[in-house]
Amino acid sequence: DTAVSQTPKYLVTQMGNDKSIKCEQNLGHDTMYWYKQDSKKFLKIMFSYNNKELIINETVPNRFSPKSPDKAHLNLHINSLELGDSAVYFCASKGRGQGIGNEQFFGPGTRLTVL
């Protein structure tokens, strides 16, 4: 039983294309996130949704648009892909219980390669 799943696992595309990455969690969590891990392994938060409402929007180009159709899903759409968008994108979710103390559960990651 996968707690946080992402599709696709690998995505190779040309510059200028539009692509989406899907994320689903079956943990009943309220909050979901998108992180970007660059080639140097640096992990940085991009977005967070709580109960389908956007609560964190870091300095991310507006070519990136998250969409949360329901609490269990948080998708990431990227327009006009650029070479610098190549990275591993992680989805994560967190339960409400201990507030900021709850750990985030991460998906397996989507490796995006822009050619």
Partner 1 sequence: AQKVTQAQTEISVVEKEDVTLDCVYETRDTTYYLFWYKQPPSGELVFLIRRNSFDEQNEISGRYSWNFQKSTSSFNFTITASQVVDSAVYFCALSELITGGGNKLTFGTGTQLKVEL
Which residues of this protein are in contact with partner 1, per CB under 8 A? Answer: 30-31, 33, 40-45, 48, 50-51, 53, 55-56, 88, 90, 92, 94, 96, 99-106, 108-109, 111
Closest distance of CB 105 from partner 1, Å: 7
Q: What CA–CA distance (Å, rounded) separates 30 from 105?
A: 12
Q: Which is nearer to partner 1, 22 or 45 (CB)?
A: 45
Closest distance of CB 21 from partner 1, Å: 15
Q: Which is nearer to partner 1, 13 or 57 (CB)?
A: 57
The pair of three-digit structure tokens given for residue 18, joined into one six-digit string = 């539009």
Helix (H, G, I), strand (E, B) or coil at 55: strand
Q: Which is nearer to partner 1, 45 or 72 (CB)?
A: 45
Q: Which is nearer to partner 1, 14 or 70 (CB)?
A: 70
The pair of three-digit structure tokens given for residue 11, joined into one six-digit string = 């995505």
Q: Which residues of 3-13 are buried (b: 16+ CB within 10 A; e: fewer)?
A: ebebeeeebeb
Closest distance of CB 49 from partner 1, Å: 8
Q: What CA–CA distance (Å, rounded) separates 17 from 63?
A: 11
